[in-house]
A and B are shown apart, each in its own frame.
Chain A
Amino acid sequence: MHREHRAEALVARALATLRDEILPTLSGDKRYAGSMMANALEIALRDMQGESDAAEWALLDPIYGEGEGSMARLAGDIRSGAVSEASHAKLVENLRRHVVAELKVRNPRFLKSRGVTG
């Protein structure tokens, strides 16, 4: 078994144990903390299963060339106006794709509530 698959399986088992055995026994502040832990483990699990950074490079590469850009540089260039939808027609579409890719990991339920699929 590959190392990442072992880590994934461990997190998945920890999450199932937390949900099935621990959370039902908690109340009040502890239940709130337990729910946050379950949420965090779900995010970590989806992060392990996803394609890391693909949307980030799809956003950066057309602007700066392959492997040359960074999110910090892009943030600064957008603020100054050096990079805009006038200079890069696909900017907004790619920014949105990147945000959606983050949400697939962080909160897919939110995407569903906004009618975003795929």
Chain B
Amino acid sequence: MSDPKTTGRPRTLDTGNLAPLESWLARSVDARTLAITAAELLPGGAVGENWKLDVAVDGGAKAGTHTWVLRTDAAARIGVSLDRADEYAVLRAAAMAGVRVPEPIARAEEADIIGAPFMILGFVGGTAQARRIVRDPGLATFGPDLAEELGRQLARIHTIEPPADLPFLAVPERRAARDIVGDLRGLLDQCSDPRPALEWVLRWLELNAPEARRITLVHGDFRTGNFMIDGARLTAILDWEFAHWGDPIEDLGWFTARCWRFGNDALEAGGIAPLGALLDGYNAVSAEPVSEREISYWQILAAARWAAIAVLQGERHRSGREPSLELQLTGLMAPEMELDAIDDIRRLVARSE
């Protein structure tokens, strides 16, 4: 969602003085010299700035001309998200596992180069706009192939296992779902709007938590809107700030949850294709095939998670810390996910009786 409050904010990158960035970048990629030939602020970026840079590199492994993106750190990030340094490390691990991500090129933790920490990534073309993708008139033709490719990508993410050079991520116990229920209760405890229906859903999720067959890297926000397509082709998986170790089926539940189908309810795979297409791709790569039934539990957990996040967003407004109509309206959405979760639980229980 865009945040009108952030428009008009002063920019971090001073395009009149790019020399410090150029010399830092040259050192980072072992170049003799490096010149930034164009710098353009990209639209959006509610939580940070994204600059598109045209770069000419002389010498080193990156010699040649490139288009890169400079991402600054967010001023404020939500609860359980990774900071940018850790997100960068996750991105590198994903790239090494063969996941299609923007190429991680360099990372600056120090603020004195451009005034804020930042990372440099390869530029990826296309669109990530969920509503544009799910309403594309060609969706029926390209949707199943796209979902299958997303399934393959997800299975590659799930080949990454602890520790994988990501020591900042805590390894959960086998019943990873219970940890998430605990985290969500923690979020609700920060809020003044009591939600008995959501508490009932969380109680059910706690009592019925499955044991993970394995613990892997979980993207944590793998959904339509967080991948990029160029035409019908998948170009990158984005937004890794919620990555964590957990039960890999969590990602499948989040991607296929009703709340992330953007109105295309019948297309269970993120509003773009039937679930079978996603699972065909996933099971072709994964050593541990997943069934539709296993995903049901995680779809309910996905609804509960989005509901809890909505309540928390509403609280950010309600507390007076960040007065915002958008946050206030998001807070009012919680019963949508509560209704889906209650009805899904009832269906699941009826099926198993």
| A interface residues with partner B (beta carbon < 8 Å) | 29-30, 32-33, 36-37, 39-40, 43, 59, 70-72, 74-76, 78-79, 81, 84, 91-92, 95-96, 98-100, 102-103, 106-107, 110-111, 113-114, 116
Contacts and interface: CB of A to CB of B under 8 A. Distances in A.
Contacts of B196: 59, 71, 74-75, 78, 95, 98
Nearest to B346: A92
Given A29-B4, A40-B328, 13 more contacts: A30-B4, A36-B329, A70-B194, A72-B194, A78-B196, A79-B202, A95-B342, A96-B339, A103-B336, A107-B336, A111-B339, A113-B263, A116-B339
Given A29-B7, A33-B4, A81-B203, A95 B335 contact: no
A118 to B, nearest CB: 14
A76 B194 CA distance: 9
A91 B200 CA distance: 9
B199 A78 contact: yes
Contacts of B326: 36
Contacts of B194: 70-72, 74-75
A70 B195 CA distance: 11
A45 B235 CA distance: 44
Interface string B290-333: 00000000000000000000000000000000000110110011
The 10 closest A-B pairs by CB, nearest first: A75-B194, A72-B194, A78-B199, A71-B194, A74-B196, A102-B335, A99-B335, A95-B197, A29-B4, A75-B196
Q: How large is the interface on B (under 10, 10 to 19, 20 to 34, 35 or more residues)?
A: 20 to 34
Contacts of A103: 335-336, 339
A40 B326 CA distance: 10
B339 A99 contact: yes
A36 B188 CA distance: 25
Contact of B2 (A32, A75, A81, A96): A32
A23 to B, nearest CB: 15
Contacts of B325: 33, 36-37, 40
B179 interface: no
Contacts of A84: 203
Contacts of B175: none
A106 B2 contact: no
Contacts of B342: 92, 95-96, 99
Contacts of A74: 194, 196, 199
B343 interface: yes
8 contacts: A29-B2, A76-B199, A78-B200, A96-B197, A99-B342, A100-B339, A103-B339, A107-B333
B185 interface: yes
Most B CB contacts (10 A, CB to CB) among A74, A78, A114 go to A78
Nearest to B200: A78
B221 interface: no
B340 interface: yes
B343 A114 contact: yes
B338 interface: yes
A62 B200 CA distance: 17
B265 interface: yes
